[in-house]
């Protein structure tokens, strides 16, 4: 066992009342991992509460325990320690103010979070934070029940795009296999994550697809979603996450970029690459972060200002 993992496990054993949280714009890995940590701490005889920084996307409402989540502004309970999964402490948004003076245990797989203070286990080679939570549970000789297995399988499936992305390793699949033995339903979870979308999702996807631009080399594709259009449909921001994948489907495209403007004069930039370009580096140059094949940033300005700047940077990286 690594010294980092040992410190994390000791810290989990020592605390009694825990707040568990993750990043804003919560996703399946983050929420699945949070709920699995809550399961683990409860199993260890502790009190554990999951606190979220924003609204849940509708496709994650099926997760066992999702009905007991507390929004940060409703949180009143005393606690002595916090667990942050799937991000660095600052990315917990408004939850950070609640926890910043407490002992924090950080479990993550983002390269950008590799160095930092405190009790932390950060493994960038893990496909999902859920892999790390599974290994902690396993290390403690515990066995996830069906609900916990469902949460962890959802975490793995989310961050690997349904076990399709290049981060999918033999370890990922071995853990997934174990989780299925323990009761996770591959078809049921895939159905919830990928096969059910609100009607406006498809209308907006239609806009994204009909607005694609492709550079003359055919290697960078991008599209735009104006904030007014997003606002006119009542969709959760996470419902839009999958759109950028369609741009990367174009044969020959190495970098796909989706630009979403907001009504506050910002543009959210989602970057994906196929196999060569490290888009986490690109995002870092723009003040953002992420993984080598999936990253993002938010820039001030209008679509007219941001799109040429980012596409030029992307073309320069090829
Ligand atoms: Mn993750």
Provide φ and ψ at 8, rounded to 5°. Answer: -65, -45
Distance 109 CA to ligand 1 centre (A): 7
Answer whether 77's CB lies under 8 Å from 99's CB: no
**Chain centre distance of CA 228:** 25
Angle between the N-to-C axes of helices 170-181 and 146-159, in degrees from 0 to 180, rounded to the nearest 10: 150
Distance 44 CA to ligand 1 centre (A): 24
| Integer angstrom CA distances of residue 7 from 94, 100, 128 | 27, 19, 20
Domain shared by 143 and 228, yes or no = no
Per-residue pLDDT of the chain (318 residues; tens, 9 = 90+): 899 999 999 999 999 999 999 999 899 999 999 999 999 999 999 999 999 999 888 889 999 999 999 999 999 999 999 999 999 999 999 999 999 999 999 999 998 899 988 999 999 999 999 999 999 999 999 999 999 999 999 999 999 999 999 999 999 999 999 999 999 999 999 999 999 888 999 999 999 999 999 999 999 999 999 999 998 988 877 778 889 999 999 999 999 999 999 999 999 999 999 999 999 999 999 999 988 999 999 999 999 999 999 999 999 999
Per the structure, the complete domain to which residue 285 belongs is given by: 199-316
Answer whether 131's CB lies under 8 Å from 124's CB: no
Distance 223 CA to ligand 1 centre (A): 25
Distance 90 CA to ligand 1 centre (A): 15
Domain shared by 186 and 286, yes or no = no
Domain C-terminal end among 164, 194, 224 = 194
Domain shared by 307 and 266, yes or no = yes
- How many structural domains does the chain have? 2
Domain shared by 59 and 207, yes or no = no
Distance linking the first and last C-alpha atoms of the chain: 40
Distance 241 CA to ligand 1 centre (A): 14
Domain shared by 242 and 272, yes or no = yes
Containing 191, the helix (H) or strand (E) segment is: helix 186-194
Distance 216 CA to ligand 1 centre (A): 34
For 69, counting Cβ atoms within 10 Å of its Cβ (0-12 exposed, 13-18 middle, 19+ buried), the class is buried
Domain shared by 78 and 160, yes or no = yes
Domain C-terminal end among 194, 222, 241 = 194
Distance 29 CA to ligand 1 centre (A): 5
Distance 30 CA to ligand 1 centre (A): 6
Looking up tokens 């600052």 gives 90
Distance 86 CA to ligand 1 centre (A): 5
* 3-class secondary-structure state, position 9: helix
* 3-class secondary-structure state, position 133: helix
Distance 289 CA to ligand 1 centre (A): 12
Distance 49 CA to ligand 1 centre (A): 20
Q: Which residues pair with 210 in a beta bridge?
A: none
Distance 102 CA to ligand 1 centre (A): 23
C-alpha span between 210 and 262 (Å, rounded): 20
CATH of residue 46: 3.90.1640.10
Domain shared by 31 and 165, yes or no = yes
Distance 217 CA to ligand 1 centre (A): 32
Distance 38 CA to ligand 1 centre (A): 17
- CA triplet 97, 103, 108: central angle to 5 degrees? 85
Containing 200, the helix (H) or strand (E) segment is: helix 199-210
Distance 25 CA to ligand 1 centre (A): 12
For 58, counting Cβ atoms within 10 Å of its Cβ (0-12 exposed, 13-18 middle, 19+ buried), the class is middle
Domain C-terminal end among 145, 175, 194 = 194
Distance 87 CA to ligand 1 centre (A): 8
Domain shared by 93 and 64, yes or no = yes
Distance 305 CA to ligand 1 centre (A): 30
* 3-class secondary-structure state, position 273: strand
Backbone angle region of 113, left / alpha / beta, with phi > 0 → left and psi within -120 to 50 → alpha: alpha
Distance 215 CA to ligand 1 centre (A): 30
């Amino acid at each position: 066992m690594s010294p980092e993992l040992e410190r994390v496990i000791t810290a989990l054993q020592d605390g009694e009342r825990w707040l568990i949280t993750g990043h804003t714009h919560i996703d399946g890995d983050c929420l699945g991992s949070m709920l699995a940590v809550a399961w683990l701490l409860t199993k260890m005889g502790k009190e554990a509460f999951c606190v979220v920084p924003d609204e849940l996307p509708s496709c994650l409402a099926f997760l066992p325990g999702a009905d007991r989540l507390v929004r940060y502004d409703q949180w009143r309970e005393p606690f002595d320690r916090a667990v942050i999964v799937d991000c660095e402490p600052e990315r917990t948004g408004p939850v950070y103010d609640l926890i910043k003076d407490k002992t924090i245990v950080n479990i993550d797989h983002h390269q950008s979070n590799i160095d930092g203070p405190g009790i932390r286990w950060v493994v960038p080679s893990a496909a999902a934070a859920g892999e790390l939570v599974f290994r902690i549970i396993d290390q403690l000789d515990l066995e996830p029940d069906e609900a916990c297995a469902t949460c962890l399988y959802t975490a793995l499936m989310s961050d690997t795009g349904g076990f399709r992305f290049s981060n999918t390793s033999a370890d990922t699949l071995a853990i997934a296999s174990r989780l299925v033995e323990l009761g996770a339903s591959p078809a049921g979870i895939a159905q919830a994550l990928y096969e059910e979308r609100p009607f406006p999702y498809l209308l907006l996807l239609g806009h994204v697809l009909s607005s694609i631009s492709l550079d003359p080399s055919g290697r960078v594709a991008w599209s735009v979603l104006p904030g007014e259009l997003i606002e006119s449909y009542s969709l959760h921001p996470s419902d839009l996450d999958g759109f950028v994948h369609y741009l990367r489907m174009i044969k020959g495209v190495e970098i796909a970029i989706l630009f979403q403007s907001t009504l506050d004069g910002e543009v959210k930039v989602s970057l994906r690459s196929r196999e060569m370009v490290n888009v986490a580096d690109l995002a870092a140059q723009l003040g953002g972060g992420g993984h080598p094949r999936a990253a993002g940033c938010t820039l001030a300005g209008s679509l007219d200002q941001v799109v040429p700047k980012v596409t030029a940077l992307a073309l320069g990286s090829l």
